[in-house]
Amino acid sequence: MLWPTPRTLSGFGLSSFAEVPQVQPDNLDELASVLAAARAEGRSLALRGAGRSYGDAALDANAVVLDTSRLNRIRAADWTTGVLTIEPGVTIEQLWRTGLQHGYWPAVVPGTMFPTLGGCAAMNVHGKNNFKAGTTGDHVLAFELVTASGEHIRCSRTENADIFHAAIGGFGMLGVFTSITLKLKHIACGELMVTPHVTHSIADMVSTLERLADTSDYMVGWVDMLGRDAGGIIHSASYADAPASDARATLSAAHQDLPTKLLGVVPKGWIWPMLWCGMTRPGMRTVNALKRWSGTLHAARGPERQSLVGFSFLLDYVPNWRKAYLPGGFVQFQSFVPRGGAAGTFEELRQLARAAGIQPFLGVMKKHRPDPFLLTHAVDGFSLALDFPVGPSNWPRFRALAERMTEVVLAAGGRFYPAKDSVMTAETLRRYVPAASLAQFLALKRRLDPELRFRTGFSRRALEPLL
Ligand SMILES: Cc1cc2nc3c(=O)[nH]c(=O)nc-3n(C[C@H](O)[C@H](O)[C@H](O)COP(=O)(O)OP(=O)(O)OC[C@H]3O[C@@H](n4cnc5c(N)ncnc54)[C@H](O)[C@@H]3O)c2cc1C
């Protein structure tokens, strides 16, 4: 096969790159040809959706990148039940734009609307409602997987259940999702009632999230990691019951679409260069202090109505915000810690980062619940996601810090998330995944992909040494 000329692809954090051929099949026949050519020529394939994973989980320097984003048709939709069968390249944005007019919203969404459902299922994505609604996988009823040999396998909780629970969250290692059947959530109104809450420390945020969980549908906490006390703001939200007369209007795309200008004046394209200028520790300290101040003012005002899109995809307000981290990019270190040890562990991570002199510019906390998928990152507890600016000058120091933070998280029985990872080793994966689950996953990888057709930078680093 004549592979396309290599091009530079990156992870979302702009700190992992590869110069590789990228193929983008338009239909399942083309996908089958790519798989056959890779087998015939002994090429490995790195599966990719929208490339929104932060590190190297959707690219590999030695592989052909097989991008499934053009397989993006909705094959069947039942608007009486909200059950859809879609191709893997359908995005979260396509789902809400299609579903909302019928009163349906994706049951789980990440903090951006651009990922594909293939990518979300492969990572078993969680949202701000993980503590209540589980992960993407919890709402998948069935899928079809094409393996390295070209075999089509249908999987559900009752058919090939072992593969069902392994491929969801299996970061593209067992085969290509070619169709996914999932159930959307029925909603009466396209708005949420959002309440801000001020917190004064990491321990305060953990206990406030715990307290608010019963009465909230969504919760997310922003932690000021550069402030002295790690205070922050939690936004809790519940589905709003709109009066019947305007409920329909809130379900329209026009009501949901994000504004094109900040505060109605500043074109959004200008924001990342402005952020870039402030991307120093003092600059970010000021940005964080302003954010805390405005959060405190909002908290005094009480609950406000917000569109589902506005609340869910806050990070999409600023196009290309990641470029503010150039030239080095950034790495996210997200750890998931069982509830009893979460506050102490996260405080220890903060102290380690301060001592190392590499402080994260962003900290986000969420509450989680366990799920039945083999390699799941979710725990009955909390996660803290920390965005660290990186570059050649601080990369060795960051690695050393990441190793120390990893030990602290592992000692607390914590877990990690391949979608956000850039540093995990196979030893770490072995220590956080329960032994029986890991053995089952490795056995499936050997059975379904004995020649390691599906590989990524992440899998070479964190999985293959265990095979
Ligand atoms: C701004 C931002 C906010 C985010 N917020 C969250 C969040 O709140 N919660 C959360 O869980 N995640 C979050 N993420 C991470 C993101 O949701 C995941 O990385 C998701 O997997 C991205 O989907 P994608 O289509 O871009 O997949 P990619 O990143 O391209 O790929 C992800 C994985 O899926 C595999 N894959 C892709 N397509 C297929 C296929 N057809 N068959 C089999 N395997 C496939 C790839 O090999 C890779 O391992 C966020 C990311 C960004 C950029």
pLDDT at 341 over 90: yes
Nearest CA to ligand 1 atom 49: 171
Global confidence as pTM: 0.96
Strands, DSSP E only, in 139-267?
A: 140-146, 152-156, 176-183, 185-186, 191-199, 218-223, 232-239, 261-262, 266-267
Q: What digits encode the pLDDT tens for the residues 129-152?
A: 999 999 999 999 999 999 999 999
Residue 276, pLDDT score? 81
Alpha carbon of 185 to those of 82, 136, 218, 371, 426: distances in Å?
Answer: 7, 12, 14, 18, 37
Q: What digits encode the pLDDT tens for the residues 195-236?
A: 999 999 999 999 999 999 999 999 999 999 998 899 999 999
Alpha carbon of 345 to those of 130, 191, 209: distances in Å?
Answer: 20, 35, 16
Helix (H, G, I), strand (E, B) or coil at 335: strand
Q: How confident is the model at residue 244 (pLDDT cuts 50, 70, 90)?
A: low
Segment 27-45 mean pLDDT: 98
Helix (H, G, I), strand (E, B) or coil at 47: strand
Q: Is the CB of 170 under 6 A from ligand 1?
A: no
Helix (H, G, I), strand (E, B) or coil at 37: helix
337 Cα: distance to centroid of ligand 1 (angstroms)? 21
Residue 260, pLDDT score? 77
Contact 93, 149 (CB under 8 A): no
121 Cα: distance to centroid of ligand 1 (angstroms)? 8
Q: Is the CB of 322 under 6 A from ligand 1?
A: no
Nearest CA to ligand 1 atom 39: 118
Burial class (CB in 10 A: 0-12, 13-18, 19+), 266: exposed
88 Cα: distance to centroid of ligand 1 (angstroms)? 12
Residue 240, pLDDT score? 84
Percent of the chain past pLDDT 70, that is, above it, reads: 99
In angstroms, rounded to a whole number, what is the distance separating the alpha carbons of residues 159 and 182? 16
Q: What digits encode the pLDDT tens for the residues 267-292?
A: 777 888 888 877 887 888 888 888 88
- Give the DSSP letter string of 191-218: EEEEEEEEESSHHHHHHHHHHHGGG-SE
Residue 283, pLDDT score? 85
Burial class (CB in 10 A: 0-12, 13-18, 19+), 55: buried
Q: Is the CB of 360 under 6 A from ligand 1?
A: no
Nearest CA to ligand 1 atom 9: 110
Best of 16, 20, 53 for a ligand 1 pocket test (most atoms within 8 Å of beta carbon) = 53
Domains and CATH numbers, the chain: 7-67 (3.30.43), 74-186 (3.30.465.10)
Q: Is the CB of 122 under 6 A from ligand 1?
A: yes
Q: How many residues does the chain have?
A: 467
Q: What is the 3-state secondary structure (H, E, C) of 338-396?
A: EHHHHHHHHHHHHHHHHHHCCCCCEEEEEECCCCCCCCCCCCCEEEEEEEEECCCCCHH
Segment 421-442 mean pLDDT: 98
Q: Is the CB of 88 under 6 A from ligand 1?
A: yes
Q: How confident is the model at residue 245 (pLDDT cuts 50, 70, 90)?
A: low
Segment 104-116 mean pLDDT: 98
Residue 288, pLDDT score? 87
Q: What digits encode the pLDDT tens for the residues 115-125?
A: 999 999 999 99
**Across the chain, what does the average pLDDT equal?**
95
Nearest CA to ligand 1 atom 32: 119
